[in-house]
Amino acid sequence: MKIFQAVTAFGLLVMASSASAQETKLSDFPFWQKMSGWWASENTYFTADMDYTVRSYNSLVTIELDGTKFRESEHRFYPAGIATTRYGKGLMAEGEGIELVVVTTGELMDDKGTLGNIKTDHAGAPEDPSVVYSILSDNDGVRLKPNPETGVDTYRMYFNFTTPNHRFRQNFGIIYDEEDDVGGLRAFILYRDKRIERSDFKAKRAEFIARHNVKVLSVADPDKPGQSLVTRLEE
């Protein structure tokens, strides 16, 4: 009888825990509440020596929360340079920029607000199931991309809110496969995000396209997972 009662109690505890986890939503966490919405970003991409790789580019970011599900759509606007060479597939003329669209999805993993099962849809942002987002405080979080071979993170991106309408992101690219300086810095990107209204998106996109002379669009190829589809923007 006592064994039966113990097993029953344990079963009820597991069921209660499972029900509690299922009831928890991303929007229950102040950090994720702040993350959701529409953002316009001023970005700078640095080398390890803090010289410029891309001195100025922009992003428009949309983050949607649906229960335990997360979806981020990021439009990146690059001027002519390293990004157009990397992503443009030779379709742009000299001096032309590129718009890169990357969609990231994930889901709530526990009652601490951890986001996992991360998937990306673009060749410019390779999918890695080991990526996780962790909450550090109501105003701070971190996105980690570990390297299983060395145990050193490939990237660490920190999110910091000074107000609900101002967010800073710092993405550290970390040396993980060179024996002489594992854990050192290989690249750094600073993002200065400001919340916008959904109705501002079209005007902001036009502004960034004009600023960087964007003539080419790169999106995920719907017929070839992990590949990109690059086309000329209509004039």
Q: Are 171 and 189 within 8 A, CB to CB?
A: yes
Rounded Cα–Cα distance for residues 181 and 77 (Å):
32
The pLDDT tens digits of the residues spanning 50-98 come to: 999 999 999 999 999 999 999 999 999 999 999 999 999 999 899 999 9
Query: What is the structure's pLDDT at 127?
Result: 67
Rounded Cα–Cα distance for residues 56 and 193 (Å):
13
Rounded Cα–Cα distance for residues 45 and 185 (Å):
13
The pLDDT tens digits of the residues spanning 169-205 come to: 999 999 987 767 889 999 999 999 999 999 999 999 9
Q: Which residues on neighbouring strands pair with residue 195, listed in sequence order? A: 39
Q: Kindly indicate the confidence band of residue 22, based on its pLDDT and cuts at 50, 70 and 90.
A: low
Query: What is the structure's pLDDT at 235?
Result: 65
The third-level CATH classification (topology) of the domain covering 25-232 is: Lipocalin (2.40.128)
Name every residue whose Cβ is closer than 8 Å to that of residue 169 and which is 6 or more positions away in sequence: 41, 157, 158, 159, 160, 189, 190, 191, 193
Name every residue whose Cβ is closer than 8 Å to that of residue 210 and which is 6 or more positions away in sequence: none
